[in-house]
Structure 1
Amino acid sequence: MKRDFMFTSESVTEGHPDKLCDQISDAIVDDFLRQDPFSKVITECAVSTAIVFISTRFASEATVDLAKTARNVIDRVGYDQPDFNAKTCSILTNIQEITTDDRAVDERTLSDAAIEQIPVRDQVTVFGFACTQTDAFMPLPIWLAHQLAKRLTAVRLNHTMPYLAPDGKTQVGVEYHDRKPYRIHSITILASQNKINTHEISLKQLQEEIQEYVIDPIFQTEEIQPDHKTRIFIDSDDPFAIGGPSIHAGLTGRKTAIDTYGEYARHSGAALSGKDPSRIDRVGAYAARYAAKNVVAAGLAEECEVQLSYSVGLARPVSIQVETFGTGKLPDDAIATLLEQQMDFRLGGIIRQFNLRFLPFLTKGGLYQKLAAYGHVGRLDLGLLPWEATDKAKALCQ
């Protein structure tokens, strides 16, 4: 296992075409669940120049206007240029209402025996990770990349840099000594600009303003600061890029590393967005994060990766594995046994504990759409998400 290394993670703004698709898909999931918490829905989205394609399969009593939901998301994200905007883009929908033999149930009212009878319908291996590198128990590279991406959006919306367009990318490289963050190796920011007034903005002005209004404020409170050797790249290879769906197409579920741990830890290949809570490939990832975070919060390890493997037709994972990368206070298999004893990894148990069917109704503006940009885990800006709680830490220590 390497102790000294350099690692990079990237994030994107909410206007990146892939993230735009994720937000449209999850906004549709929110709309279904707000009307009918027992909806089953899978929705995918693709965008390109002036066109949006939505494919949705559902079993629900809800009535959702897919095109209206998509236009609302596009408008909120800020696409208003002639080549792509909420008013004039074409929206194609493919809708299939499916029949299901499963009766809608409220997991909150079920006995433990009844929860045991709710099987998963998909086979998947999901991962959760946590570490002590940040207050959010997240790896530092993806944490910083997310903060820069959010700041890039903020300076556009508050008109500090009004010429910016919604699409943007960030990347942060961190040098590690003895598996701990040591210094900032590099910072990369690609910020697209609107076509109008772009000729008035020089590359030098863009770079100076991003340094002043984006990079400096984010690192102001960070323990590890950029130094004189830190390499900073700002639109260095592609100045004045327009970005957005007219330049590169987007698709739901194509940014799973950004949704999770920036590839510092493993993640499932399954998309998180566009799925209701009955899909174990989504909610299992939340449960695995919950388990890993509680292990670290309990002081049982400085780093922890939890792997859950599910098979079709079974309620419980067929495998629970833990990796603490040499930082565990107990053997990894002993920690895995503790997790199995203290946590409920059954599909129905996860839905019940996290209240996943009703959170979109209880959360202003919905929940899942907010997760679709800047990460599904480690989100301090969204209050205490149920899978970010550390309420099991004390029990794990006993």
Structure 2
Amino acid sequence: MKRIITVESVTEGHPDKLADLISDSVLDECLAQDKRSRVACEVMLTKGKVLIAGEITTTAKVNYIEVAKATIREVGYETEDIDFECRIHTQSPDIKHGVDNPLEIRNKENTIEKDIYDMLGAGDQGIVYGYAVNETQNLMPLCVNMANAITERLTFWRKNKTVKGLMPDGKSQVSLSYDGDQLSGIVSIIVSTQHIAETDLNELREQIKSRLINDVFPEYDLSRTEILINTAGSFICGGFDADTGLTGRKTQVDTYGGIARFGGGAFSGKDPSKVDRSGAYMARYIARQVVTKGFAAACEIAISYAIGKAQPTALDVVVFGECKLSVAQIKQYIIENFDLRPAAIIATLDLYNQKYKPTAAGGHFGRPGFFWET
């Protein structure tokens, strides 16, 4: 069967990604001072305005507005003419009670036996997914790697002034054609990058085509590939001057490009007690083990949780391509080798000692330096 797979990526200067970066910068500041911080930080950016909101319970002393300003400047935007507003309050006492006194503990109130990993309930109900495929060395879909490589190179060029006049906002999109499971060609490559007004657009297009694209795709024949660069023309007004940014709005970019499923909750700005984040990291970690061990060519793990309950409510496995084990055998392997309770996930992946800001741009999976990618 012939099919075309398309994946997009965005740079750190895209308004949605900038919102993610600020949310995770706030999270990192809280966890640096108080490992047990409960953080659910959301950011909205629009022309002339930054709103930091959410629920944070912590002993940490954090100036949220200064964290936001520093992050915005680090990405490459000015902050002088921006109005900052902070609307942070503490976590709901009902949610806190359910997380700190899970159903398993409440059911054992009259017994001595208590498991330490039963003592943290899921911060919300939800379904999380993890995926891995043997198509690439980092076990990510090839199309995801390609789209991310373009935006990473755009950011590298801008910060190192390899190409003068580049600004922080940018996007990429790659379409690959497959005949069955075999790659048959690159259908199209799309790049959009913000630039200063003085930039010669034709010269910029030529540099991106002849240098950046050839650097990212050196081993591929692009003679029949449609290459489109800044198709709308000039891209001078960008970032949150041009488009509103929101935390958690780029979930496909954060995960598997739509090739595999992803959960209903986003990642950035959430502490590890939120299974939207920690559960998805664990699901990816398990999917990696399944594929690395050769049990399946590709694997998707689904885990579901109930708020205030430590044990997950369901585990599902989907495999693709050649498999050495049945789904039932893989499920049994997971049950025997991985503890899916939030506290156990946090311990296994050392999530209280991770830095989350680096995850916010470039994808949460397939990149070195993250414990769930080992």
**TM-score of the alignment, normalized to the shorter chain, above 0.5:** yes
Q: Which moved more, 1:30-39 or 1:114-123?
A: 114-123
- Over 3 Å counting, the alpha-carbon distance change for 1:241 and 1:133 in structure 2 is farther
Instruction: Establish whether residue 298 from structure 1 lines up as the match of residue 283 from structure 2.
Output: no
Alpha-carbon distance in structure 2 between the residues aligned to 1:7 and 1:160:
31
Does structure 2 retain, via aligned residues, the 8 Å contact 1:165–1:242? no
What is the RMSD computed on CA atoms of the aligned residues? 1.7
Alpha-carbon distance in structure 1 between the residues aligned to 2:314 and 2:90:
34
Report the equivalent of 1:388.
373
Alpha-carbon distance in structure 1 between the residues aligned to 2:40 and 2:269:
6
Report the equivalent of 2:138.
136
Instruction: Establish whether residue 348 from structure 1 lines up as the match of residue 331 from structure 2.
Output: no
* Aligned match for 2:83, one of 86, 90, 96: 90
- Over 3 Å counting, the alpha-carbon distance change for 1:58 and 1:9 in structure 2 is same
Secondary structure of the residue that 2:299 maps to in structure 1? strand
Report the equivalent of 2:273.
278
Report the equivalent of 2:259.
264
Instruction: Establish whether residue 310 from structure 1 lines up as the match of residue 336 from structure 2.
Output: no
| CA displacement, residues 100-122 of structure 1 (integer Å, 9 cap, x when unaligned) | 45669xxxxxx981212322131
Give 1:241 shift: 4.0
Alpha-carbon distance in structure 2 between the residues aligned to 1:257 and 1:121:
22
* Aligned match for 1:127, one of 107, 126, 129: 129
Give 1:372 shift: 0.4
Report the equivalent of 1:69.
67
Instruction: Establish whether residue 213 from structure 1 lines up as the match of residue 229 from structure 2.
Output: no
Report the equivalent of 1:242.
237
Secondary structure of the residue that 1:246 maps to in structure 2? helix
For structure 1, the 5+ residue unaligned runs are 80-84, 105-110, 360-366, 390-398
Alpha-carbon distance in structure 2 between the residues aligned to 1:291 and 1:86:
42
Secondary structure of the residue that 1:325 maps to in structure 2? strand
Give 1:327 shift: 2.6
| CA displacement, residues 263-307 of structure 1 (integer Å, 9 cap, x when unaligned) | 010001211101011101110000000011110000111111011
Secondary structure of the residue that 1:282 maps to in structure 2? helix
Report the equivalent of 1:327.
322
Secondary structure of the residue that 1:8 maps to in structure 2? strand
* Aligned match for 2:364, one of 359, 373, 376: 376
| CA displacement, residues 4-40 of structure 1 (integer Å, 9 cap, x when unaligned) | 2110100000000000000000000000000111111
Report the equivalent of 2:35.
37
Number of aligned positions between the proteins? 359
Report the equivalent of 1:19.
17
Report the equivalent of 1:232.
227
Q: Percent identity?
A: 38
Give 1:180 shift: 2.9
Does structure 2 retain, via aligned residues, the 8 Å contact 1:128–1:290? yes
TM-score, with structure 1 as normaliser: 0.87
Name the aligned partner's letter for residue 376 of structure 1: H
* Aligned match for 2:191, one of 189, 210, 215: 189
Give 1:316 shift: 1.7
Alpha-carbon distance in structure 2 between the residues aligned to 1:253 and 1:171:
19
Name the aligned partner's letter for residue 4 of structure 1: K
Name the aligned partner's letter for residue 232 of structure 1: I
TM-score, with structure 2 as normaliser: 0.92
Report the equivalent of 2:110.
none
Name the aligned partner's letter for residue 5 of structure 1: R
Alpha-carbon distance in structure 2 between the residues aligned to 1:252 and 1:57:
14
Give 1:216 shift: 1.5
Does structure 2 retain, via aligned residues, the 8 Å contact 1:321–1:333? no
Report the equivalent of 2:155.
153
> Where does structure 1 differ by over 6 angstroms across 4 or more consecutive aligned residues?
none
Alpha-carbon distance in structure 1 between the residues aligned to 2:161 and 2:11:
16
Report the equivalent of 1:339.
334
Give 1:51 shift: 1.2
Report the equivalent of 2:109.
none
Does structure 1 retain, via aligned residues, the 8 Å contact 2:100–2:121? no
Alpha-carbon distance in structure 2 between the residues aligned to 1:86 and 1:112:
51
Q: Which moved more, 1:335-344 or 1:236-245?
A: 236-245
